[in-house]
Amino acid sequence: MKNINIVLGICGSISAYKSPLILRELVKAGYDVNCIITSSSKEFVTSGTLSNLSKNVVIEDLYDKQFSDDGAWHVKLAHKCDLLLIAPCSAATIGKLANGICDNALTTFAMALPSDTPIAICPAMDYTMWYNPIFQENLNKLEEFGYNILEPETGELSSGLSGKGRLPEISKIIDFTKDILNKNSSTIANEDNPTNKTKISKLNGKSLLITAGPTKEKIDDVRYISNFSSGKMGFAIANEALKRGALVTIVSGPVEIAKPNTNYISVESAEQMKDAVMELQNETDIFIMTAAVSDYRPKYKFEGKIKKENQVKDEIKIDLVENPDILKIVGKNKSPNQIVVGFALESENEIVNGRKKLISKNADLIVINKSGKDNLVFGSDFNKITIIDKKYEEEFDSMTKSDCAIEILDRIESKI
């Protein structure tokens, strides 16, 4: 079970005293376990005990100083996690999860999980709370969202009453956990160690075509029209996709950064990029169009170098024509099984303009970069993106382009 990471969430139920026993059994089974606890759970269990059993630091607070130097710990741990198990899960936490309330480390972490990472909860409370209609409505919401729920058992409760609400036996919780991992995590064996298993990405074996960088449109032999795109976003996506086992082809304009170790097609103009993309149209499963393609090109290219003395006074006039819209062409010709992702750089009304682009280009996702003082997109190692499809929009705080790549590919995987 090496490399399978479980995050164990522990809430403020009196059943929390059983959590160290659950943790011990998970570790004995070979899982790597990180614990996130709520403030009220500390009334029943100590972080020292959990840390000693898990051999990992216990996360108690969203702004824990131990993690403050590591940026968005909840996002990084979310992408390492194969299963979030909350045992016990209190009525308060279930209400927060059902309504998107992120006011502590555990609920914020749950919100940060990729959509294909399973969440399992083991509710435990007094029977009057279990049958409360508001609680039942929240529990039904979680079931509709795809949560795995192990219902409590009936028996004597801590209140002295008897009814439904007891945390199930630890052996049942462990079996419940293993069943979910077996159903949700396809695995492959490492050739050097057959017991070393890791989750297979849905991108494994898929062919991805990524356009990146700027294009250059020649005016004459020494001058051109272009933009400040560095290619970093496209290359970050390529590197992350390669980690997930995808077969990546990059079609890139001129860039000055290290190229990913994959199939690489170098182009210069928008026409060349279009031709390279269309040649691979039928062989590609997923198109990710990050390139900043020049919208226009000179109608006529001058041979040699335009001499100043040959121009009238201090003016030069260059007629421009529109370049091919590569994203639109790909979207128009895509098959039902192909996924097309476009990028949009917007300075205002970004969501409205992004949705217009989503529809007009027949794309499945649009990643919006908002251009401005707070988000210097070109050349930067950071980006602030919003991902939209026809039904939702998801805005992210500024993060590295590598982290943006993780979020983008996670959303793509959810559509496969």
Mean pLDDT of 39-52: 91
Task: Report the range out of 51-60, 92-101, 341-350 with the highest average pLDDT.
Answer: 92-101
Position 195 scores a pLDDT of 38
Band (pLDDT 50/70/90 cuts) for residue 115 is confident
Of 394, 411, 342, 105, the C-alpha closest to 384 is: 394
Position 198 scores a pLDDT of 46
Band (pLDDT 50/70/90 cuts) for residue 132 is very high
Position 159 scores a pLDDT of 80
Residue type (1 letter), 317: K
Mean pLDDT of 385-394: 90
* pLDDT score of 29 more than 70: yes
Band (pLDDT 50/70/90 cuts) for residue 386 is very high
Position 370 scores a pLDDT of 76
Position 110 scores a pLDDT of 93
The reported pTM is 0.55
Position 1 scores a pLDDT of 45
Residue type (1 letter), 112: A
Give Cα 399 distance to the centre of its chain. 12
- The string of pLDDT tens digits covering residues 345-372 is 887 888 899 999 999 999 999 999 876 6
Band (pLDDT 50/70/90 cuts) for residue 190 is very low
- The string of pLDDT tens digits covering residues 210-237 is 999 999 999 988 888 988 889 999 999 9
C-beta of residue 384 within 8 angstroms of C-beta of residue 373: no
- The string of pLDDT tens digits covering residues 284-341 is 999 999 999 999 999 988 888 877 766 656 677 889 999 999 999 999 999 999 999 9
**Residues identified as active-site:** 227
Which percentage of the chain shows pLDDT scores above 70? Answer: 90
Residue range(s) occupied by CATH 3.40.50.1950 in the chain: 5-196
Mean pLDDT of 129-144: 92
Position 120 scores a pLDDT of 95
Position 162 scores a pLDDT of 83
160 CB contacts (<8 Å, ≥6 apart)? none
Distances (CA, A) of 83 to 80, 92, 105, 152: 9, 21, 16, 20
- The string of pLDDT tens digits covering residues 143-162 is 888 899 999 998 888 888 88
Of 321, 411, 415, 328, the C-alpha closest to 114 is: 411
Per residue in 289-321, is it b (16+ CB within 10 Å) or e — as a string?
bbbbbbeebbeeebeeeeeeeeeeeeeeeeeee
Task: Report the range out of 25-29, 75-79, 250-254, 381-385 with the highest average pLDDT.
Answer: 250-254
* pLDDT score of 13 more than 50: yes
Q: How buried is residue 262: exposed, middle or buried, by Cβ count under 10 Å (0-12/13-18/19+)?
A: middle
- The string of pLDDT tens digits covering residues 258-274 is 888 899 999 999 999 99
Q: Looking at the domain that runs over 5-196, which CATH code has it been given?
A: 3.40.50.1950
CA distance 385 to 375: 9
C-beta of residue 353 within 8 angstroms of C-beta of residue 346: yes
Of 285, 387, 272, the C-alpha closest to 334 is: 285
Position 144 scores a pLDDT of 87
CA distance 255 to 115: 33
Mean pLDDT of 80-105: 93
Position 75 scores a pLDDT of 78
Q: Which residue has the higher pLDDT, 243 or 68?
A: 243
Average pLDDT, the chain: 87
Band (pLDDT 50/70/90 cuts) for residue 202 is confident
* pLDDT score of 188 more than 60: no
Residue range(s) occupied by CATH 3.40.50.10300 in the chain: 207-302+316-414
Distances (CA, A) of 161 to 89, 90, 156, 168, 204: 20, 18, 6, 17, 52
CATH architecture of 207-302+316-414: 3-Layer(aba) Sandwich (3.40)
